[in-house]
Amino acid sequence: MPNYRMLLQYDGTRYAGWQKQGNTENTLQGKLEVLLSRLCEESVEVAGAGRTDAGVHAAGQVAHFHLKTCWNAEELRKSIQRYLPEDVAILCLEEAPERFHSRLNAKGKTYVYRIWNTDIPNVFEHRFMTQIIPPLDMDSMRLAASQLTGTQDYRAFCSLKRYKKSTVRTIHRLDIEQHGQEIRIVACGDGFLYHMVRILAGTLIEVGLGSKDPWDMRCILESRNREEAGYTAPPQGLILHSIRYETPIFRAKA
């Protein structure tokens, strides 16, 4: 069976997340499966590299699917895009090795959390940012972030009350960048727990506001207690930026 992989981006504002659910048809995975099944006249299952939550966006999501018949990849991409809404774009689609799996073969992910740090609304990008009005202390946020990198148990930064698998993850980078009035939290790691990036962002925001001590991050990690970390930052500020594989998988990217 031919295996196809695609690079896509979407504005997650009006969707209930990536992963299909039994109580709603309004998910990215669900809509793509319905569209592909009708277009290819066969049952198609789509697997994504990252399961973004409701309201979360993606600039570089990767997904794959198998078909019983062979299609020209570029013609298939154009056919899919023709029926997609304007808030979803297929940047690239190509035939992949039979054993390629978008999630299992992924070596790491990069997320960006965007904060608009002023009392003046950002009229054109407000759907992709979280507005925080009081000035944030960048130095304190960077100090806190430096303690949250490496290979550690991030149980305190996971929303699930019960987690059967290991909660140890490796964060390679947790950078705090400033671009004028915008502050970006860039998290790059081998994988992330449920709501982990948004909890990291919420914790760093609380540090920036002075309600948490930047030196307390180690104690929060060691507590393994969700209540010790900060709040879960709103979804609209979070973007799945890219998925990393052992070697580049797309010949051309938009």
Q: What is the number of structural domains in the chain?
A: 2
For residue 198, what are the contacts with CB-CB under 8 A and spacing of at least 6?
A: 53, 113, 232, 233, 234, 235, 238
Asked whether the predicted pLDDT for residue 212 surpasses 70, the reply is: yes
Q: How confident is the model at residue 254 (pLDDT cuts 50, 70, 90)?
A: very low
Asked whether the predicted pLDDT for residue 76 surpasses 50, the reply is: yes
Instruction: Write out the two tokens for 126.
Output: 């407000």
Question: Does residue 23 sit within a domain?
Answer: yes
Same domain for 118 and 238, yes or no, is yes
Question: Would residue 85 be called left, alpha or beta, if left means φ above 0 and alpha means ψ between -120 and 50 degrees?
Answer: beta
Question: Does residue 247 sit within a domain?
Answer: no
Give the model's pLDDT for residue 71.
95
Same domain for 76 and 95, yes or no, is yes
Question: Does residue 166 sit within a domain?
Answer: yes
The predicted-structure confidence for 164-194, as pLDDT tens digits, reads as follows 889 999 999 999 999 999 999 999 999 999 9
Same domain for 122 and 229, yes or no, is yes
> Do β-strands 108-116 and 46-48 pair in parallel, antiparallel, or remain unpaired?
unpaired
Same domain for 208 and 220, yes or no, is yes
Task: Mark which of 105, 139, 155 sits at the end of a domain.
Answer: 105
Between the alpha carbon of residue 138 and those of residues 93, 112, 156, 163, 171, the distances in Å are 40, 16, 23, 33, 20
Asked whether the predicted pLDDT for residue 250 surpasses 70, the reply is: yes
Same domain for 90 and 121, yes or no, is no
Domain around 36: 3-105
Instruction: Write out the two tokens for 229.
Output: 């970390």
Average pLDDT of every residue of the chain: 96
CATH label of the domain that carries residue 116: 3.30.70.660
Active site residue 53: yes
Same domain for 234 and 113, yes or no, is yes
Question: Does residue 253 sit within a domain?
Answer: no
Catalytic residue among 11, 53, 87, 213: 53
**Span 59-63, mean pLDDT?**
98
The predicted-structure confidence for 90-116, as pLDDT tens digits, reads as follows 999 999 999 999 999 999 999 999 999
Same domain for 78 and 124, yes or no, is no
Task: Mark which of 78, 105, 132 sits at the end of a domain.
Answer: 105
Give the model's pLDDT for residue 22.
83
Instruction: Write out the two tokens for 181.
Output: 């009035």
The predicted-structure confidence for 118-170, as pLDDT tens digits, reads as follows 999 999 999 999 999 999 999 999 999 999 999 999 999 999 988 888 999 99
